[in-house]
Copies of this chain bind each other. A is one copy, B any other.
């Protein structure tokens, strides 16, 4: 028996999120079913981030145990050969037996992409498309207020299982791109639907409906009803999961290369 660590990308639009659900197409469900084609085993895949329906991933990290003796490289190829088109493995390595993709993660990084370029069949479903340009300078000011350790109760859905609502937000940045923006968030952990709620409030700030300092108020009030509305999952990507407290800043060109191949 050995423990396998995998890096996974997926386009979220046709999945009901990460977590296994009976009779629904989920990333976990597809992975477990497809890996069984290769090893014949009933495998349980555990991931660093349980992404919601429609949310994408570039560097989702997960682990599973197997009796398969396939060398890592061949195992990677074999699994990729049976995966559906919207799901791919970027890497597969044999890990220490004690490695745990969820518990060992020291940082999670997410991106949110907003695009203003109008009808584009090639980016449909992988950006949040807006007609009017937002005020990036106000959004940038607001993002500064999120940095540091805060209680994010106001950005956490009420029925959530998150008991600890403290998040150490290490980065919250806006980067302008050719035809839109990319928001970058890095933290030790994220609460359920927290980022889409943060982006919802940022949207209100960007279109002038709220002041840039409303984040301070929302964080203080610790009540979901002061949070923003929930932005669509289309723009959200689980970008990277870190395991060793290394520094890994956001570099736009790396994201562009990973998602477009350019």
Binding site for B on A (CB under 8 A): 9-11, 56, 80, 83, 85-90, 115, 117-127, 177-180, 256-262
**Shortest CB distance A88–B (Å):** 3
Q: How far is the CA of A76 from the CA of B122 in the complex (A)?
A: 19
Residues of B within 8 A of A11 (CB): 121-122, 124
**Shortest CB distance A187–B (Å):** 24
CB pair B261 A87 closer than 8 Å: no
Partner of A260, one of B10, B85, B123: B123
CB pair A88 B177 closer than 8 Å: no
CB pair A121 B87 closer than 8 Å: yes
CB pair A119 B262 closer than 8 Å: no
CB pair A262 B262 closer than 8 Å: yes
Partner of A88, one of B88, B121, B179: B121
Residues of B within 8 A of A177 (CB): 261-262
CB pair B121 A179 closer than 8 Å: no
Question: Nearest chain-B residue to A253 (Cβ)?
Answer: B178
CB pair B178 A118 closer than 8 Å: no
CB pair A88 B118 closer than 8 Å: yes
Residues of B within 8 A of A178 (CB): 257, 261-262
CB pair B89 A122 closer than 8 Å: no
CB pair A262 B121 closer than 8 Å: no
Q: How far is the CA of A260 from the CA of B261 in the complex (A)?
A: 10
**Shortest CB distance A134–B (Å):** 15
CB pair B85 A9 closer than 8 Å: no
CB pair A120 B9 closer than 8 Å: yes
CB pair B179 A261 closer than 8 Å: yes
Residues of B within 8 A of A118 (CB): 80, 88, 90
